[in-house]
Structure 1
Amino acid sequence: MRQKLRKITIIGAGPAGASAAFFLAKAGIPVQILDKAVFPRDKICGDGVSSRAFYTLFRMGIRGIEEFDRGQRIDDVILFDWFGQKRKLEAARNMFGNGFSTIPRETLDARVLEKARDAGAVLREGISIREIRRNSQGFTLVHSEGEEDCEILIGADGIHSRVRHLIFGSHFRETEKSFAMRAYIRNVRLNHPQSYYFIYLREIFPGYGWIFPLPGGRANIGFGIPSDKLKKEKRNPFDLWDLFLKHPILREELTGGVWETEPKGHHIPMKTDKRFLYKEGAFLCGDAAGLVDPITGDGIDFALESGQLVAEDILEFLHSSAKNQLGEYYKKRCESRIRKRMEDQNSMKKILFHTFLFDRFFRMAKDQPKNTILSRLLLGIADWKEWLRFFFV
């Protein structure tokens, strides 16, 4: 075993940071997480959790949706297209039987973070990063409580990552982001309380709107739209929100509901670059690395998975007798397991996500075999062969 590292610091205690911390701490490696928030905290998100996410959650000892007190199991998908047609589609499950679900980020993040702390990770809350400087041993962090050093730095601090900006010299351009708005509502009686609602409007395409149900008559309501489309068309997000709420489906499904929150907006990264995964002792994972599905906007599964891969890279470096370089394993595995999938999704989006093609897309999806493929397309788990089969077979 190589000499132990002096200190590993993770910036950001969301799913990516907590995942990395869990797998390091579980292996007996001292690690700390710094976050500007105090947990539990709300996080603007659609709250959809894919079946893929449960592969990593399972390894953390979280075996199913029943372990979240405010989680809702999802059995199928209800699609409403801009022609007014409605379809009920099956939602796929993973090999362990876990399906898709809706879990408020306040609940999900607190549970994953609890696992990391139980494994031995140290959480320091309410700490804002102001500056990061390189030194002869690694990094000096300047934050709201002073200064400290670390040898390895993991940036899991989201789309506005300080690590990405200060160490990698990068930020996400307008064309590399989407904008989403969401609000919570209670006292609703959804016709399909265990279904994802996907609502397609021409005004926000290639984005979409959603109703994601939660237990106790609650739901997460929102929509996403490419940021450059929003800017190019000079659309006000709140005007789009009002337009969205006037949709007949929302008026029907949300009748009698009481809004718990005002609509809140946030940006979602929609592009990754292999240059921004590792650089001389610093890692990026989750949203900070842009690891988000460009079609669905879902990043929780990639966040959990990339955090685990970062931890495995460090453990490989520490324990291997071979001359492995720090960062090599992560870049290689992230490329094959996450970035390749993202690039495929991005290519499919560029080629196929056009209004005239989706006019045909919606008109074609009337028979059961195509509905099965359609469900996989909407949930972001279809491949090129399925897309081509849908359009041309």
Structure 2
Amino acid sequence: MAALRNPVGGCPWDLEQDFSSIRHYTIEEAYEVSDAIERGDMGDLREELGDLLLQPIYHAQMAQEAGHFDIGDVIYGITEKLIRRHPHVFGEQAARDAEMAKGRWEAIKVEERAAKAARKGETTPSILDDVPNVLPALARAEKLTKRAAKVGFDWPDFAAVKAKVEEELAEVAEAQASGNQAATHEEIGDLLFAIANLARKAGVDAEGALRDANFKFTRRFHYVEERCREDGIEPKDAGLERLDGYWNEIRAADKQPGTVSIRSAEPNDVGSIFHVRTSVTENVLTVTQLAGFGITKASITEMILSAPCAWVAVDAEKVVGFSMIDVDEASLFAAFVLPSYEGKGLGRKLVQAAEDALFARHQVAWLKTGKTTRAAGFYRHLGWGNETDVDGTEIRLEKSRP
């Protein structure tokens, strides 16, 4: 980084940057680390942690150039903080359990906030002082109310917060009826804040709950789009009544877990298998493009007839996913599920069926997948590894018999 920032021979772009211009990259990289963790993609996590690690190095280099501190000071600071906050590990105090350790940690943080305020000349520090303004709004609301609760400023129970949510909702309706947009803006903010508090009282991470709801909406809307394709109509031309009908189908299916079964594929499943493959949202391939790779209905039929080489996931007689192997080559050929069925564990079950057949005949199996696709992370999460690069865009993964 020192070389990149060197006025003689350094990178012009890096030389132009300052703390403000790169701070959004720091936030962005942290989110990408979180995304890799949620996807269980250890390869991406390794890469994203490196990208995130670059950020403190970058900021420390600029601070060193300005005479403030360097990366050694940063590392010393966090090392000293960890030692100070863990007297039960590095000192003579003992902690009987995790709760006691957490309580001691919080007490030390209170002392640190007071010391930081004193250094700044502030004689009355607030317990809210170090809640970052740049946190996602729901996460910050939850943290603010949690801090306030530490000094007794809190609702007595869940029912009391629920009543507050209902009160705020009524005030939103009143503001909306008045036609005052500024008041509506304010009241909706109060409502969201109250909901974040409700989540805290229920022991729910509000930010995580909303993220899961976003994923559920996306999965269900994918189903609506699939149904439109099946009926040969564009979503924009379907009309609300029809779209709502499709939506209610997937809602009803979600409320009936365990209805999807895995079975060996049959020749009359070929059309459905092709539909699944051409409906995936990642690495979409048309029928023509698939044929260019030698994947046709005839070739799939041949694979099915050489059983056990293909399996399908079936929901109410509808094929919603499939997996295939080339048993002679010890290769997992493909595994896909419809977008509306992602996140239900079907992919794992389909791969397991394929693995059982492969490991019945082979000690080691392999597969190829896109280097930067979600599928790569999915397979790594299932224990596929020994990664080798194929052509810069694809990788080969292997797995040994358990």
Taking structure 2 as the reference length, what is the TM-score of the superposition?
0.19
More helix by share: 2
- Name the structure, 1 or 2, with higher relative contact order (CA <8 Å, separation 6+): 1
Question: Which protein has the larger Cα radius of gyration, Structure 1 or Structure 2?
Answer: 2
More strand by share: 1
